[in-house]
Structure formats: structure tokens, C-alpha cells
């Protein structure tokens, strides 16, 4: 009788272990599928909502002092670079910009615009 009871207990333990493994695998599969779906949504969104960036703005931005002080009257160096490319501003508005750098920026602007 005790041997039979011990055997039944062992079978119950094996079933519980199997159930636990199935639950772990199920959780892994669900997380994997969710990750895949989120990845697809992000990939599709990045294609649909892609913002075209004018590379010329970035070139001029990298030549500016990058203080983002706002003394030029814009929100920062990137905004100032954009106004320069659009011809809405002049480099002399950037007070921290040194004369040598100003000359280089003017030369570059002449090439780009």
C-alpha cells in the first residue's frame, strides 16, 4: 500500500513538473510573439512616419559653437543652422562664433545653397 502511494505521489510530482515546463515555454512563446509584433509595428511606423532631414542643416550645425545659448534669437544651434540654410538669418547673429569659424561657415553656406 505504501509503495503504491509513493508511486502515485511520484507521478503527481512528475505531472506538476511537466505543467511547470509547459507554463514556462508558453510564457516564452507569448513574450516572443509579442516582441515580434511590436518589432513589426515599430518597423512599419518608422517607414510611414519617416521625417526627411536636410543634411545641409546638420553640416552647418556641426560647424557652430554648439552652446545652444539662444543669443542668436533661435531655440538653439540646430534651429539657427536651419535659418541659415533657408537664408533667413546671418552668421553674425551667433555671438560666440569666432571670426575664423564664421568665414568657414559662410564659405560652406555658399557651397551648399
Pattern 16-55, ligand SF4, x by CB under 6 A: ----------------------------------------
- 71 sits near ligand SF4 (criterion: CB under 6 A): yes
Decide: helix, strand or coil at residue 95: coil
User: How far, in Å, CA of 112 to CA of 61, rounded?
Assistant: 13
Q: Judged by CB, which is closer to ligand SF4: 19, or 71? A: 71
- 94 sits near ligand SF4 (criterion: CB under 6 A): yes
Neighbours of 57 (CB within 10 A): 19
One of 57, 63, 77, 105 touching ligand SF4 (CB under 6 A) = 77
User: How far, in Å, CA of 38 to CA of 41, rounded?
Assistant: 5
One of 57, 60, 72, 105 touching ligand SF4 (CB under 6 A) = 72
Q: Which three cell numbers stand for residue 31?
A: 513574450
- 61 sits near ligand SF4 (criterion: CB under 6 A): no
Distance in Å, CB of 35 to ligand SF4, minimum: 41
Q: What is the dihedral of CA 52, 74, 106, 109, to 10 degrees?
A: 10
Amino acid at each position: 500500500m505504501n509503495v503504491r502511494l509513493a508511486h502515485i505521489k511520484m507521478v503527481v510530482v512528475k505531472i506538476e513538473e511537466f505543467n511547470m515546463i509547459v507554463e514556462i515555454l508558453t510564457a516564452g512563446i507569448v513574450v516572443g510573439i509579442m516582441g515580434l509584433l511590436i518589432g513589426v509595428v515599430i518597423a512599419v511606423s518608422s517607414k510611414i512616419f519617416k521625417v526627411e532631414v536636410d543634411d545641409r542643416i546638420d553640416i552647418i550645425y556641426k560647424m557652430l559653437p554648439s552652446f545652444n545659448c539662444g543669443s542668436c534669437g533661435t531655440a538653439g544651434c540646430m534651429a539657427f543652422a536651419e535659418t541659415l540654410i533657408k537664408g533667413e538669418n546671418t552668421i553674425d547673429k551667433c555671438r560666440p562664433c569666432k571670426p575664423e569659424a564664421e568665414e568657414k561657415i559662410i564659405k560652406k553656406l555658399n557651397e551648399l545653397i
